[in-house]
Amino acid sequence: MGNIFLLAITAILLENFVFVKFYGICPFLGVSQKSDTAVGMGLAVTFTMTIASALTWPLYYFVLVPLGIEYLETIAFILLIACLVQFIEMFLQKAIPSLYSALGIYLPLITTNCAVLGVALLNIQQGYNFLESVVYGCCAGLGFLLAIFLLSLIRERFDFADIPKPFRGIPIALIAGGLLALAFSGLRLNF
């Protein structure tokens, strides 16, 4: 149990997926102008990462390993993730239309979000068991949600700030991200 707890804290705070591991930077910069869309994207990513972890783990250990074709890991995972995203989209559209209208536009972007493929590959590389993989997938997603939400809160204030012209847009977002990363790295000194 302690292990799982440490894994969760590590994924969310100490080795934050965005600030330390640099996964999912594209949506982190691209969809963080407004906090409500940022939270929508973060939730969609967390949801997909959790399910992707739960599906890619058995795919690797019950299909690829017995057949001796571990080298197809990348291609198998990305196909599974693409199908998964498509399926989630169709399912949400039919079953929970309100959630679909909130998350719908972010879903196609998630296939090419490297955080999702990244967490699937990391689970295998780090030798996590099934439970650890699912917890890690979920918490890494929550780490992404936290990061994109914090950045969006800062970026909302930029509308009222007199930012030098060349820094407007992505550069100032990167610098704000860097300062957030600095704050997160301070947490590590105590661990």
Partner 1 sequence: MKKENEKLTVGKIFRDGLLDQNPIFVQLLGMCSTLAISTSVINALGMGGSVTFVLILSNLFISVLRNLIPSKIRIASYIVIIAGFVTVVDMVLQAYIPSLAASLGLFIPLIVVNCIILARAESFASKNKPLPSVLDGLAMGLGFTVALVIISAIRELFGNGTLLGFAVMPEGYSPAVLVISPVGGFLILGALIALVQWFRARKKDKED
Partner 2 sequence: MNKKQIVALGLRLALFVAAVVAMLSVVNYLTRDTIADRIRAEGEAARSELMQGCTFTEETNVPFPEDTTVTAVYRAEKEGVFVGYCFDVSVKGYNEIGMIVGVTADGNVTGVKILSQTETPGIGSKAVDETGSYLPLFAKHDIDSMQQYFVSGATISSKGIWNGVSDAVALCELLTEGKGA
What residues line the site for partner 1 (CB under 8 A)? 19-26, 29, 71-75, 78-79, 82, 111-114, 117-118, 121-122, 125, 164-167, 169-175, 177-179, 181-182, 185
Site for partner 2, rule CB under 8 A = 6, 10, 14-15, 20-21, 69, 71-72, 75, 79, 125-127, 185, 188-189, 191
- Residue 39 CB coordination number (10 Å): 15
19 binding partner (options partner 1, partner 2, none; Cβ < 5 to 8 Å by kind): partner 1
Question: Shortest gap between Cβ of 71 and partner 2 (angstroms)?
Answer: 5
Structural tokens at position 108: 């196609």
Structural tokens at position 4: 């799982």
* Strand, coil or helix: 32: coil
Given 3-state DSSP classes, what are the helix, strand and coil percentages for the chain, each rounded to the nearest 5?
Answer: 80, 0, 20
* Between 102 and 149, CB nearer to partner 1: 149
Question: Shortest gap between Cβ of 190 and partner 1 (angstroms)?
Answer: 17
Structural tokens at position 164: 């030098």
Q: Which of 2, 12, 7, 6 is nearest to 146 (CA)?
A: 12
* Between 104 and 118, CB nearer to partner 1: 118
Contacts of residue 151, defined as CB under 8 A and 6 or more positions apart, other chains included, come to 28, 32, 38, 173, 176, 177, 180
* Between 89 and 99, CB nearer to partner 1: 89
127 binding partner (options partner 1, partner 2, none; Cβ < 5 to 8 Å by kind): partner 2
The answer to whether 147 and 16 are in contact (CB under 8 A) is yes
9 binding partner (options partner 1, partner 2, none; Cβ < 5 to 8 Å by kind): none
